[in-house]
C-alpha cells in the first residue's frame, strides 16, 4: 500500500508544480525558482510599529488567503510566492483596516518591501 500512496503523492506534486499551484505555496518550480518574497512593517500614521497586527495576503487566482501576525517591530513576511499571480495585501489592527494594495505579477522583483500604514494612534 505504501508504494501506491507514494506514487499518487508524487503524481499530485508533479501536477501541482506544472500548474504553478505548488509554487504559490512555497515549493520550488522545475527551474529551482523559490518565488518571490514580500516583507515589510505595519505602521501607524506617525510611523510607529504595530505589533500583533494581522497582515492578510490574498492570491487573486486561487482566492486563498495567508495571514501573518506582526512581530514586536511590526514586521511581517511571506516567502515563496508565485511570480505569475497577483496578490492583494492589507493589515488589520484591533478593527482598524489599512487600504488594500496589489502586488502585480508584472512586478518582476524577487524581494519586495512593502510597508503598510493603518490610521491609528
The CB-based long-range contact list for 19-22 (8 Å cut-off, 24+ gap) reads: 20/82, 20/84, 20/85, 21/62
Q: What is the pTM of this model?
A: 0.73
What are the tens digits of pLDDT across the range 91-121? 999 999 999 999 999 999 999 999 999 997 6
> Residue 82 pLDDT more than 50?
yes
Cell matching residue 35:
518565488
CA pair distance 113, 78, nearest whole angstrom: 11
Domain with residues 2-118, CATH architecture: Sandwich (2.60)
What are the tens digits of pLDDT across the range 47-81? 999 999 999 999 999 999 999 999 999 999 999 99
Amino acid at each position: 500500500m505504501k508504494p501506491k500512496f507514494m506514487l499518487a503523492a508524487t503524481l499530485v506534486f508533479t501536477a501541482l508544480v506544472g500548474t504553478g499551484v505548488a509554487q504559490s505555496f512555497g515549493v520550488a518550480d522545475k527551474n529551482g525558482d523559490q518565488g518571490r518574497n514580500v516583507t515589510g512593517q505595519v505602521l501607524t500614521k506617525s510611523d510607529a510599529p504595530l505589533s500583533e497586527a494581522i497582515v492578510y495576503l490574498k492570491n487573486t487566482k486561487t482566492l486563498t488567503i495567508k495571514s501573518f501576525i506582526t512581530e514586536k517591530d511590526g514586521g511581517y513576511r511571506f516567502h515563496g510566492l508565485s511570480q505569475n499571480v497577483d496578490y492583494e495585501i492589507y493589515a488589520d489592527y484591533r478593527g482598524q483596516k489599512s487600504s488594500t494594495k496589489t502586488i502585480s505579477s508584472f512586478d518582476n522583483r524577487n524581494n519586495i518591501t512593502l510597508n503598510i500604514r493603518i490610521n491609528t494612534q
